[in-house]
Amino acid sequence: MQFDAPAGSNIFDDARIVGKSTPRIDGPNKVTGTAPYAYERHDVVADQAYGWIVGAGIAKGRITSMELTAAKAAPGVIAIVTAPDTQPVGKGMDNHAPLFGGSEITHYHQAIACVVAETFEQARAAAALIDTNYDRSTGSFDFDAVRASAPRSGEAETLGDFETAFAEAAVQIDETYTTPGQTHAMMEPLATIAAWDGDKLTLWTSNQMITWAKESLGDILGIDSANVRVDSPYVGGGFGGKLFIRADAVLAALASKAAKRPVKIMMQRPLVANNATHRQATHQRIRLGARMDGHITALSHQNWSYNVEGASGETATAQTAKVYAGANRLTAEYCATLDLPEGNAMRAPGEAVGHLALEVAMDELAEALGMDPIELRVVNEPDAVPGNPGKRFSDRNLVRCLREGADRFGWSERSATPAARREGRWLFGVGVAAGYRGAPTCKSGARVHLADGRIVVETDMTDIGTGTYTIIAQTAAEMMGVPLDHVTVTLGDSSFPASAGSGGQWGATSSTAGVYAACVALRRQIGEVLGFDADDARFEDGSIVAANKAFRLADAGTLSAEDTIRFGKFKKDYDVATYAGHFCEVAVDAYTGETHIRRMLAVCDAGRILNPLSARSQVIGAMVMAAGAALTEELTVDTRFGCFVNHDLAGYEVPVHADIPHQEVIFLDTLDEIVSPMKAKGVGELGICGPGAAIANAIYNATGIRVRDYPLTLDKYLDRLPAIA
């Protein structure tokens, strides 16, 4: 099915199942521990051996020797695959650092060997017996040292004459904000079971993008991807960290070949941060020039980041062309090359940290103008895409998000004067930020089977916690007129039709639109079998009413249909995006500077919400991750050793239960005709765009102290807190 024009009215406008809060259909399996994740699939293939990954002990250089005698002789060892004895494997989609093979080391904890043994304990013990010697070479690990000489990535985006307009502006803000590296820290580490049958390879793995994975494995291993099957029905969190094939999958495949047995590998947690990908640090300069009435006349956002050779930085300016009006503009990205681990997508790449700068700069501008921060944003609401005035917004309700959020949150009680509200040792403050995140779509296919009046959906779409099983079941149930429990959804298998996959918050609307397309095709087949015009029929309660005649779905027998939704060029005329107003209240300890989040609210504009229950969870979860980015999360680089030194879950502090209060989410009742037949947009990344800035602004409102260096740990402002008696 081709989506070539705005949706118009369709079945979902009178939906009975889509759009209703629905507990997850996979929920009972998840809460009983019976949902199978990659490493624990004992039943898929017999005789699984255990693999253990050895990570490089240096960040840059060459392996000069690898002594394996003791490891090979160790009890239970079946095979050892080493990098020096393996030709470098190829690179799959969006792989930049080498995955495995050869003697060259380009980053810390790069995989250099895999030990396969009968048991996990034997593999781990034998791996420790490998004695590796290196010829260490000098690497470049210090972002601050190379930042100033980083080349610009592509052309700067300019409009009007920024420099002149900024110089002439009545009020100017010129501030620099920094964000550190962050790690996905999904709870399920990268994990794969691999098995060969002749030249056919099956990987039971944990991956967000099945079609990419299958294609990439062909490129990486130098085999025909048609011989690769990937299966990933449950993914224990990804956040971008499982978009691409990583060392666990590569080593499982290579080790399984060497061991002539299926091999299972879970990357050890202490390796994940340095071996796999991360969100890179940024250094962002924002200049805002405004008239006294708040209208922005000059807006510049320059961002410096880094990556390994040939890969792009964390593009923090991604949202800046879209959010606020302003006739004179300059945005530019600069990317240094470093010998740190590879940077790659993490939840809302670019925007997540871009908002930590832009939305604090707006707060600073509001204060400089003596304006309410919400009013400042409203004044600068654009009519068309500010950085690209020829482009329209498909459906944008940011002002409603902010206004309705202000009402709900009690914004009018805010003191505009910072540090004005103290109770005992606690300083209280509130903050606001806007949120913008694009709502892309990708072609997505599905196959739908009918048998005995029940529906089975097959697609290689993944559910990474997003609630995909349920929204796909809702879509199929709605389309085919059956109760939800008459729909079985099977996901994540590359033998199913290729889907959009889970990433970029495009998954929900794309994959359900693909299921919609397949269901339209199935309805037509049923119409042909039973003799009615499916496009004028109503499918309800296991029955079909067409031209005043009733039919039973079960009478159509066994049928299958497959289709793919494809999105047409007309969408290029629009900026299709999601919007939010994020609000936060904090209490800061006047003595110690500890910040406690007391309230969080997000008001979201994302078109139709397919399942408000699970969509809300995505938003609150993203708000939690934003809280971590604002307050605690930082991959600390040791520039001498070239590594993230706090590479476990004790050293890298993600938020815990006690950090997070009750969270509130409101979805505006909007529909986006441009995005897809579902008129729905994703929310999983919208939720991380803004809350961190709202926290930072609330801390300023509480204390009068502005810290622009994330995370906002107490050591950065302890000496600026009120004097103690």
Partner 1 sequence: MKAFTYERATSPEQAAAAVAGRDGAKFIAGGTNLLDLMKLQIEAPTHLVDLQDLGLDKIDATRDGGLRIGALVTNTALASDDRVRAQYGVLTRAIVAGASGQLRNKATTAGNLLQRTRCPYFYDTNLPCNKRAPGSGCAAAEGFSRQLAVIGTSDQCIATYPGDMAIALRLLDATVETVMPDGTGRSIALADFHRLPGDQPWLDNTLAEGELIISVTLPKPIGGRHIYRKVRDRRSYAFALVSVAAVLHDDGTGRVAFGGVAHKPWRSEEAEALLPQGAGAVVERAFAGAAPTDDNKFKITLADRTLASVIAEARS
Partner 2 sequence: MTPTGNDNATADNVTGSGSSAAGLAATLMPVGMEVNGMTVALSLDPRTTLLDAMREHLRLNGTKKGCDHGQCGACTVIVNGQRINSCLTLAVMHDGDAVTTIEGLGTVDDLHPMQAAFVKHDGYQCGYCTPGQICSAVSVLKEIAAGVPSHATADLTATPTVTRDEISERMSGNLCRCGAYSNIAEAMVEVAGAEA
- What angle, rounded to 10 degrees, do the helices at 691-703 and 351-369 form? 30
Window 61 to 80, contacts with partner 1 (CB under 8 A) = 75
Q: What 3 state SS string does 28-69 have? A: HHHHHCCCCCHHHCCCCCCCCEEEEEEECCCCCEEEEEEECH
Size of the site for partner 1 (CB under 8 A): 42
Measured from the CB atom, the residue of 10 and 636 that comes closer to partner 1 is 636
Q: Per rule CB under 8 A, is residue 473 in the interface with partner 1? A: no
Question: What is the enclosing helix (H) or strand (E) of 127?
Answer: helix 120-127
524-532, 540-548, 614-622, 639-647 -> range binding partner 1 (CB under 8 A):
639-647
Q: Per rule CB under 8 A, is residue 182 in the interface with partner 1? A: no
206-214, 474-482, 638-646, 688-696 -> range binding partner 1 (CB under 8 A):
638-646
Strand pairing report for 296-307 and 282-290: antiparallel
Window 390 to 429, contacts with partner 1 (CB under 8 A) = 425
Measured from the CB atom, the residue of 196 and 641 that comes closer to partner 1 is 641
Q: Residue 469, SS3?
A: helix
CB of 417 to partner 1, least distance (A): 24
62-70, 293-301, 514-522, 587-595 -> range binding partner 1 (CB under 8 A):
587-595
- Considering CB distances under 5 to 8 angstroms, the limit depending on partner class, which of partner 2, partner 1, none binds residue 715? partner 1
- Considering CB distances under 5 to 8 angstroms, the limit depending on partner class, which of partner 1, partner 2, none binds residue 466? partner 2
Kindly list the strands in the beta sheet with 487-490, ordered across the sheet, starting from the edge strand earlier in the chain: 2-3, 559-567, 444-451, 454-458, 487-490
121-129, 171-179, 328-336, 395-403 -> range binding partner 1 (CB under 8 A):
121-129
- Considering CB distances under 5 to 8 angstroms, the limit depending on partner class, which of partner 1, partner 2, none binds residue 289? none
Window 231 to 290, contacts with partner 1 (CB under 8 A) = 270
- Considering CB distances under 5 to 8 angstroms, the limit depending on partner class, which of partner 1, partner 2, none binds residue 514? none
Report how far residue 394's alpha carbon sits from residue 409's, in angstroms, rounded to the nearest whole number: 28
CB of 591 to partner 1, least distance (A): 4
Given CA atoms 286, 292, 294, 296 in this order, what sign does their dihedral have? Answer: negative
DSSP conformation class of 607? B
Q: Per rule CB under 8 A, is residue 703 in the interface with partner 1? A: no
Report how far residue 365's alpha carbon sits from residue 347's, in angstroms, rounded to the nearest whole number: 28
Of positions 163, 219, 372, 589, contacts partner 1 by CB under 8 A: 589
- Considering CB distances under 5 to 8 angstroms, the limit depending on partner class, which of partner 1, partner 2, none binds residue 34? partner 2
Nearest partner of 107 among 667, 704, 670, 647, judged by Cα: 647
Window 30 to 59, contacts with partner 1 (CB under 8 A) = 57-58
Report how far residue 215's alpha carbon sits from residue 220's, in angstroms, rounded to the nearest whole number: 9
For Cα atoms 511, 515, 517, give the angle at the middle one, nearest 5 degrees: 115
Q: Per rule CB under 8 A, is residue 118 in the interface with partner 1? A: no
CB of 713 to partner 1, least distance (A): 6
119-127, 138-146, 163-171, 174-182 -> range binding partner 1 (CB under 8 A):
119-127
Window 518 to 557, contacts with partner 1 (CB under 8 A) = none
Nearest partner of 708 among 232, 283, 246, 329, judged by Cα: 283
Structure tokens at 188: 């399920």
Q: Residue 246, SS3?
A: coil
Residue with tokens 């904890």: 109
Q: Per rule CB under 8 A, is residue 226 in the interface with partner 1? A: no
- Considering CB distances under 5 to 8 angstroms, the limit depending on partner class, which of partner 2, partner 1, none binds residue 58? partner 1
Strand pairing report for 549-552 and 543-546: antiparallel
Query: What does the buried/exposed string (b/e) look like for 164-177 if buried means 16 or more CB atoms within 10 Å of the residue's CB?
Result: ebbeebebebebeb
Report, as residue numbers or ranges, the catalytic residues.
685
Of positions 447, 582, 647, 681, contacts partner 1 by CB under 8 A: 647
Nearest partner of 297 among 134, 397, 173, judged by Cα: 173
- Considering CB distances under 5 to 8 angstroms, the limit depending on partner class, which of partner 2, partner 1, none binds residue 719? partner 1
Q: What 3 state SS string does 312-366 have? A: CCCCCCCCHHHHCCCCEEEEEEEEEECCCCCECCCCCCCHHHHHHHHHHHHHHHH
The overall longest dimension of the chain from CA atoms, in Å, is 87
Q: Per rule CB under 8 A, is residue 659 in the interface with partner 1? A: yes
27-35, 120-128, 361-369, 547-555 -> range binding partner 1 (CB under 8 A):
120-128
Residue with tokens 């087949």: 525
DSSP conformation class of 544? E
The answer to whether the peptide bond before residue 6 is cis (omega within 30 degrees of 0) is no
- Considering CB distances under 5 to 8 angstroms, the limit depending on partner class, which of partner 1, partner 2, none binds residue 678? none
- Considering CB distances under 5 to 8 angstroms, the limit depending on partner class, which of partner 2, partner 1, none binds residue 552? none
CB of 125 to partner 1, least distance (A): 6
Measured from the CB atom, the residue of 312 and 462 that comes closer to partner 2 is 462
Measured from the CB atom, the residue of 393 and 652 that comes closer to partner 1 is 652
CB of 266 to partner 2, least distance (A): 7
Q: Per rule CB under 8 A, is residue 599 in the interface with partner 1? A: no
**Contact residues: partner 1, CB under 8 A:** 57-58, 75, 121, 124-125, 128, 270, 425, 589, 591-592, 594, 596, 631-632, 636, 638, 640-641, 643, 645-648, 650-651, 653, 655-659, 711, 713-715, 718-719, 721, 724-725
